[in-house]
Amino acid sequence: MKALLVGEFRQGKVEESTYELVGFAKQYGFDHVMFIVAKEGVDIKYDSKLYLADADKYGEYNPDAHKKLIEQVVEKENPDYIVFSHSSYGWDMAFRVAADLKVAPISEVVEYKDGSFIVPCCNSKFRREVKPKTEKAVITLQGGAFQPVAEGTPQIEKIDIEVPESGVEFVGYRVPEKKGVDLTKAEIIVSVGRGVGKKENIQLEEELAKVLGAELGASRPVVDAGWLDQSHQVGTTGQTVAPKLYIACGISGAIQHIAGMKKSGFVVAINTDKDAPIREIADVFVVADVNEFVPVLTQKLKSA
């Protein structure tokens, strides 16, 4: 099988997710080449052929031009799979390319198995296995599902086309204003999940955080329910954190949450379900009711 990996370049830098595409290709032993729109002389660690289009000419965001460029590489390389990150760029481009090439699009892939792709569904409670019926497929990879691989020096081939007319004008990026807590700098995070049961119970985690000098993190349902504000959210649509200690309280370990905290130094997870997926990445896994365990832990720490 051969994969065309579509890398991402933003504001002068290759996006880290690009290397997850390489990790995916290597994990399943695919032949692979990469395409990217980037500045000439870009620092990219990749050990195969890289089709490079000039960001100064095509722009970092120009879906009409990028689509044409990608299709030119598809023609040259005839890949089985055209692989994007499931990012705002990836989910925008992937479906344009799939529609143009009339091939199956499959999004948010977390695994590959004998020609089928595994995609989480129902809030990651289930997984569906999807097999493309078309000869080629366009897929997007869930952020954090594959280990990034950044190694080697690419054999660069420049790629050039006439810039097509576009109905879209790229105005610029807007960085969201930082409000509330900055979890990225925290050394210890006590993170609250749906398993705490109700907003009032969060005071138990707040107390534990106070004793440890920690910040309070949260899973998305906690934020969606309005129990904590969005600045506490950890995960693909929240903050990416790397504390020395991460204490997950009533968090199941959905891939979107793990993607945001897997670089934590030491992970303690408290969960009533002994098979909760977070167990796989926890250094210490406590099977207990979080509302009973946390106050006892806080008391022990206070008296230590």
Sign of the four-CA dihedral 277, 273, 236, 214: negative
Residue 257 touching ligand FAD (CB under 6 A): yes
Annotate each residue in 190-229 with x if it binds ligand FAD (CB under 6 A) or - if it does not, as one string: ---xxx-x---------------------xxx--------
What are 215's strand-pairing partners?
Answer: 189
Pick 15 or 60: Cβ nearer ligand FAD:
15
Distance of alpha carbon 265 from alpha carbon 70, whole angstroms:
39
Nearer Cβ to ligand FAD, position 94 or 234? 234
Interaction with ligand FAD in 4-23: which residues (CB under 6 A)?
A: none
Largest Cα–Cα separation, the chain: 71
Q: Which of 93, 98, 251, 282 binds ligand FAD (CB under 6 A)?
A: 251
49 vs 194, which CB is nearer to ligand FAD? 194
Q: Amino acid identity, residue 107?
A: S
| Start-to-end C-alpha separation, the chain | 58
Interface residue with ligand FAD among 4, 83, 139, 290 (CB under 6 A) is 290
Taking CB under 6 A as the binding criterion, the range among 126-134, 148-156, 158-166, 233-241 that sits at the site for ligand FAD is: 233-241
User: E-assigned strands of the chain?
Assistant: 2-6, 9-10, 13-14, 31-38, 49-54, 81-85, 104-109, 111-113, 116-121, 126-130, 137-141, 155-158, 188-192, 215-218, 245-249, 266-271, 284-287
- Nearer residue to ligand FAD within complex by CB, 52 or 270: 270
243 binds ligand FAD (CB under 6 A): no
222 contacts 235 by C-beta, under 8 angstroms: no
Please tell me the distance from the alpha carbon of residue 290 to that of residue 194, in angstroms, as a whole number: 11
The region of 15-23, 48-56, 154-162, 245-253 touching ligand FAD under the rule CB under 6 A is 245-253
Considering only 59, 272, 281, 285, the residue that binds ligand FAD (CB under 6 A) is 272
Q: Is 123 in the site for ligand FAD (CB under 6 A)?
A: yes
Least separation in angstroms between residue 132's CB and ligand FAD is 22
Binding mask 62-101 for ligand FAD (x = CB under 6 A): ----------------------------------------
Is residue 289 a contact residue for ligand FAD (CB under 6 A)? yes
Tokens of 115: 């020609």
In sequence order, what DSSP letters do the residues of 235-294 get, joined into one string?
STTSB----SEEEEES----HHHHHHHTT-SEEEEEES-TT-GGGGG-SEEEES-HHHHH
Residue with tokens 């891939």: 255
Helices (H) then strands (E): counts for the chain: 8, 17
Number of residues near ligand FAD (by CB under 6 A) = 30
Nearer to ligand FAD, 101 or 241 (CB): 241
Residues that bind ligand FAD (CB under 6 A): 123-124, 193-195, 197, 219-221, 233-238, 250-252, 254, 256-257, 260, 270-273, 276, 289-291
